[in-house]
Structure 1
Amino acid sequence: MQTRRFRFNRGRGTADVDSVIMVGSGGRLRRLLLSRTVAVLVVVAVLGGLVWSLHGLSARERQRLVQQAEANAAGIVAATVNSHLHAWVRDGVGLSAEGAADLRRDAHQLRQAGRLGGIGIWRLDGTLLFADPPDGAQAITVSPADLARARAGVAWTTAGARVGEQASLRVFLPTHPDGAPEAAHTWLVAVDIPQDPAEGALTSAALRTQITLATMMLLLIGGLLALRRALLRGERRARTDALTGLANHEALVEACAATLPAATVERPAALLLIDLAEFKTINDTLGHLAGDKLLTQIAATLRGLVRAADLVARLGGDEFAVLLTDLPDAAAAQLRAEQLLAALRTATFELEGITLPVDASIGVVLAPRHGEHYLELLQRADVAMYEAKRGHKGTMLYDENRDGHTVDRLQLVGELRRALDRGEFVLHYQPKMALPDRSIYGVEALARWQHPSRGLLPPGEFLPLLESSGLIQPFSKWVVRTAARQAAAWREAGMPLKVAVNLSTRSLLSPALPATVLSIVSGADLPPSLLELEITETALMTNPDLAARVLAQLRARGVEVSIDDFGAGYTSLAFLRVLPITALKIDRSLVSGMLENACDRAVTEAVVDLGHRLGLRVIAEGVETEQLLDALADLGCDRAQGYAIARPMPPAELERWLNDENASEWSGTGSTARQRAGTALELIGRSGKRAQLAPDRQ
């Protein structure tokens, strides 16, 4: 049984518990018991059956008593009265005194035997011929209507006078003696027949049966109604949030099961996921009791902002959901979300005498556009809500391009796992230049994915998914190992190039990182000073204390550490002075605009000066032109990296670039390029052999 109407707890914007329960509480009997309509039908049917049964019992018992009384009365008239009436007709005179005495004697004997309560005989004109007893409470009388019925030849039975403690039935019998013409000699004989005690016992038994049946029926109705009330109370508790009185997660699931199948593209349904901002701060500052009071006030506010057909639910903590049904179009869902958010922001919430501002982030999904099932919609509403929170946009409609949990992404995760196993990842190396003498002192290892069908993919195509899928740890370990082995091979060939490797946040915050890195360096027979780890500001500030401890262990063993993309994050300057780092790497967004933008140049110059004052080397990345190289050198920047020097290359190509007098093919033109090539040749010239990748020693 399903319904499209939701009204809960009598309030607006809430759902009828009975209706929600009908959606999917499980079990046909359970649903029937909980149905209000079925309950009414059962009560009506049972009461109707009870009335019909009682009426039938009474009618049958009365019919039996009447038939018995009529048979007894007919027997008395035939045996006692007719003989006297026959003599009267035969002699042509009225009832003689002797005949009346005989008739009275017979009647007396019948009364003594308990078979007769009284008897009366009338002509059809109303003349009384005989009565016994002649007067008193038990005297029998007739009315003109009775005489009219007798003239029509109709016999009938009514309640008679009581005979002692016994009730009686009065039988009226129009009669005539045998052989006499009916029209000429017809009398009305009325006979009171007392009920036999045995008949009374039967009547009492029938009455007891009726009472028992009625009691059983009423108990059955009461039991069914009590069971229904108990089930409804249990179901209501199971589908109601105890704190706010709103529908809970289970009720929302069942409401979606009822309403989503009817949603169309033209008339969609929408699920809004609401997450309150800074609620933890309120809990920590004012206490959980105050937090609960705030949630109750917010629930009441939300309940008053939606239509009666919509459902507001609390999913737990500070998360709420709103199910909007039968919307006129897709834009209406976004509009309703913005109206809810605006109302929350302007509403007054008071706790402990303090007026608290409330803000929230709302994710919006549409059915069937974004999904047809509750779990699918909830997951995508969560993605949209997270995007709204991250972008400080208040509300956000789901966009599959921002969703890292689509089927395509899952397929890509599987491909990434296989790529690690099959060795499809490769490292390219981008040269890094010392600006004072324009010499190549090292390289940065940059990962590429040699995809079987899509070709060579840059890091932006797979690194975010490696982070979110949990594959970043084994991937980072592979990068460090491969880069260390390559650096060791170059060192053995007479090219002691320092190799820089980027570390993810998860890798940095792993307590096992120092042991892993040092084990790799030792296994590759590489001096730790030839390995540099690049850490982003965001990674550092995720857990500064843990990051500092991990990096301190690495620095103590000679591994160099630099902060990558400096200026794009939010590193605390106070914390910067105590971090165990050796270099700052200026973010490319500052470097690329410093020739055209005075502010970018000023910030770059300030970073260079700051780094030098802290005893750190300063590296500029994203250097695309010779002019930028010269400008950075003028600012005193120590090192540079970018396409103005060379693009990232596989190891063999990098070696050829270093060994080729015509290095301008890769790094530019003119005397500066030849100078860089000459410096590179000096490195190569120390050994007459080409560097080969050393075998894995771990």
Structure 2
Amino acid sequence: MSERDAVMLVYFSQLVIMRIMGLRSRNYIDQPTGLFNRLRLEEDIRQVSSSGKRHKLYAVDVISPKFLNDVVKALGYSFSQDLMLNVKARLQSVLPKNCTLYKISPTRFGFLLSADEPIEAICLKILSDFNDPVDCQGIPILMQTGIGVLPIIDSEEKDWLRLVVGAADDARVRNIGWTMYQPKLDAAQKRVFAVLSSLLDAVRSTDQLNLVFHPKIKLPSFACESVEALIRWNHPTLGPISPAEFIPLAEKTALMHSLTIWVLEAVTAQANQWKSQGIKLRIGMNVTVSDLENSKFVDAIVGLIEKGRLDPKALELEFTESMLMTDPNTVVAQLERARALGIEISVDDFGTGYSNWTYLRQLPVNTVKLDQSLISNLHTNEKDKRLVKTLIELAKGLGYRVVAEGVETENTLSLISRWGCTEA
């Protein structure tokens, strides 16, 4: 090889090394903060798990993703990056010397420490420091910090980061500061995912969802003129899933609209079947904030009425009074549309929310339903007796029908009948 060729080869080798270092930097460095990123942390976790030395993995969840998004919308991306740089500096100032800090997501940081380091002391030091707002461009931002801790105790391949991030998020959401990873928490999160990911299939299937009907008995005649539709879900592998579990999850996603439309279609079909058998019953169905925050749900009702499939007098919509705290103008507008169609409107769980009578009398409401938590203790609690009696008198004075939920004893039935309750 000539001297010129040798020089050229050295030059090429330097270019290759520069390229490798550039790729490594881009793969392992979080550009906005200059910290090692999630990929590098995962690599380092693999190394310490196979080293035979016990370590603990920490994740620090500083704020909720929604709050960071609000910061971006209000103050811009450059502000949010400066905020995270200030958070980085604060964390590095309280961590042990030579501890490497990693940026593992837009709102989360992580680090590894020897198992000998005192967990509680480290976590409390971080939490104490973040009790003070993080100053960014002269604006104090209060963090919502949660810390998750997970022992790295074996070389078995696990999704370590997912587990510790789940613990940190749980600590932040529950406002408990810090928590060790708990297997039951991971199991609960997996179930949530399984339930949500199965719900769309359930809506599309013909054999997973069904309705049961709870009778409402007129007082004092004991005639049954209406029922409440309650959804049930029998999952092919998980078995029966309570609506108390899957409805709150669905409300956080776009699936809620599909679920409500399924119930509306099922209620319509049942009403028509009963009508063909000579049975005349009004069917009540529950609606949520997401059902009434736009016109889609009431539009669907209008479509069924126009096609002659639904008699509006056969339908009653039940909503909780707490919904009015979310977006009252939109909710009221949609309820008024439904009422104008001839549909009955009922306030569910009355007495457990803010019970604003001045506001309530402005709503297109026919019925108030007294929550079963008030009814269940009537025979033992004098305060509940006075409260329920007063609520019935006030509601009837304003022209509402009054339904008592959870009537299970002769004594309770006798009391609410005497006080003038309309249905049970």
Category of TM-score, reference length = shorter chain: 0.7 to 0.9
**Which residue in 1 is equivalent to 2:414?**
630
> Are 1:272 and 2:59 an aligned pair?
yes
TM-score by length of 2: 0.76
**Which residue in 2 is equivalent to 1:359?**
144
Which of residues 534, 542, 551 in structure 1 aligns to 2:318? 534
Tell me the number of residue pairs that the alignment of Structure 1 and Structure 2 aligns. 420
* Contact 2:321–2:354 (CA under 8 A) maintained in structure 1: yes
> Are 1:296 and 2:81 an aligned pair?
no
Which of residues 186, 200, 224 in structure 2 aligns to 1:440? 224
Aligned partner letter, 2:295: P
SS of the residue 1:622 aligns to: coil
Taking the aligned partners of 1:570 and 1:251, their CA distance within structure 2 comes to 51
SS of the residue 2:346 aligns to: strand
**Which residue in 2 is equivalent to 1:550?**
334
Aligned partner letter, 2:86: Q
Q: Deviations over 1:393-424 (max 9, x none)?
A: 33344555555652796389559826852424
Matches within 5 A, 1:451-462: 458-460=242-244
**Which residue in 2 is equivalent to 1:322?**
110
Taking the aligned partners of 1:393 and 1:593, their CA distance within structure 2 comes to 33
Quote how far apart the aligned CAs of 1:425 are.
3.2
Aligned partner letter, 1:327: A
Aligned partner letter, 1:519: G
Aligned partner letter, 1:392: N
Quote how far apart the aligned CAs of 1:479 are.
2.5
Quote how far apart the aligned CAs of 1:252 are.
3.5
Which of residues 477, 500, 506 in structure 1 aligns to 2:284? 500
- Cα root mean square deviation, aligned: 4.4
**Which residue in 2 is equivalent to 1:340?**
126
Quote how far apart the aligned CAs of 1:221 are.
6.1
Matches within 5 A, 1:583-622: 583-601=367-385, 604=388, 607-608=391-392, 611-612=395-396, 615-622=399-406
Taking the aligned partners of 1:415 and 1:297, their CA distance within structure 2 comes to 41
Going from structure 1 to structure 2, the CA distance change for 1:556 and 1:290 (only over 3 Å counts) comes to same
> Are 1:391 and 2:391 an aligned pair?
no
SS of the residue 1:480 aligns to: helix
Mark the runs of 5 or more structure 2 residues left unpaired by the alignment. none
* Contact 2:261–2:297 (CA under 8 A) maintained in structure 1: no
TM-score by length of 1: 0.50
SS of the residue 1:639 aligns to: coil
Taking the aligned partners of 1:541 and 1:423, their CA distance within structure 2 comes to 36
Aligned partner letter, 2:205: D
* Contact 1:420–1:475 (CA under 8 A) maintained in structure 2: no
Taking the aligned partners of 2:101 and 2:387, their CA distance within structure 1 comes to 50
* Contact 2:60–2:148 (CA under 8 A) maintained in structure 1: yes
Taking the aligned partners of 1:312 and 1:608, their CA distance within structure 2 comes to 61
Taking the aligned partners of 1:617 and 1:522, their CA distance within structure 2 comes to 29
SS of the residue 1:565 aligns to: strand
Mark the runs of 5 or more structure 1 residues left unpaired by the alignment. 1-208, 641-698
* Contact 2:317–2:346 (CA under 8 A) maintained in structure 1: yes
SS of the residue 1:564 aligns to: strand
> Are 1:477 and 2:264 an aligned pair?
no
* Contact 1:448–1:459 (CA under 8 A) maintained in structure 2: yes
Going from structure 1 to structure 2, the CA distance change for 1:571 and 1:629 (only over 3 Å counts) comes to same
SS of the residue 1:393 aligns to: coil
SS of the residue 1:304 aligns to: helix
Q: Deviations over 1:659-684 (max 9, x none)?
A: xxxxxxxxxxxxxxxxxxxxxxxxxx
Taking the aligned partners of 1:353 and 1:466, their CA distance within structure 2 comes to 40
Taking the aligned partners of 1:384 and 1:538, their CA distance within structure 2 comes to 30
Which of residues 7, 28, 37 in structure 2 aligns to 1:248? 37
Taking the aligned partners of 2:79 and 2:116, their CA distance within structure 1 comes to 39
Quote how far apart the aligned CAs of 1:490 are.
3.2
Matches within 5 A, 1:172-183: none
Going from structure 1 to structure 2, the CA distance change for 1:428 and 1:308 (only over 3 Å counts) comes to same
Going from structure 1 to structure 2, the CA distance change for 1:296 and 1:520 (only over 3 Å counts) comes to same
**Which residue in 2 is equivalent to 1:30?**
none
Q: Deviations over 1:367-398 (max 9, x none)?
A: 579x944xx44444454444334433333445
Q: Deviations over 1:113-148 (max 9, x none)?
A: xxxxxxxxxxxxxxxxxxxxxxxxxxxxxxxxxxxx
* Contact 2:267–2:283 (CA under 8 A) maintained in structure 1: yes
Q: Deviations over 1:8-64 (max 9, x none)?
A: xxxxxxxxxxxxxxxxxxxxxxxxxxxxxxxxxxxxxxxxxxxxxxxxxxxxxxxxx
Taking the aligned partners of 1:598 and 1:358, their CA distance within structure 2 comes to 45
Taking the aligned partners of 1:248 and 1:231, their CA distance within structure 2 comes to 17
Taking the aligned partners of 1:565 and 1:572, their CA distance within structure 2 comes to 14
Quote how far apart the aligned CAs of 1:300 are.
0.7
Going from structure 1 to structure 2, the CA distance change for 1:236 and 1:482 (only over 3 Å counts) comes to closer
Larger Rg: 1
* Contact 1:349–1:356 (CA under 8 A) maintained in structure 2: yes
Aligned partner letter, 2:177: G
Quote how far apart the aligned CAs of 1:344 are.
1.3
* Contact 1:485–1:524 (CA under 8 A) maintained in structure 2: no
Query: Identity of aligned pairs, percent?
Result: 27
Quote how far apart the aligned CAs of 1:566 are.
3.4
Bigger mean CA offset, 615-624 vs 333-342: 333-342
Matches within 5 A, 1:43-58: none
Quote how far apart the aligned CAs of 1:274 are.
0.5
Aligned partner letter, 1:275: V
Going from structure 1 to structure 2, the CA distance change for 1:494 and 1:218 (only over 3 Å counts) comes to closer
Taking the aligned partners of 1:396 and 1:516, their CA distance within structure 2 comes to 46
Taking the aligned partners of 1:238 and 1:570, their CA distance within structure 2 comes to 53
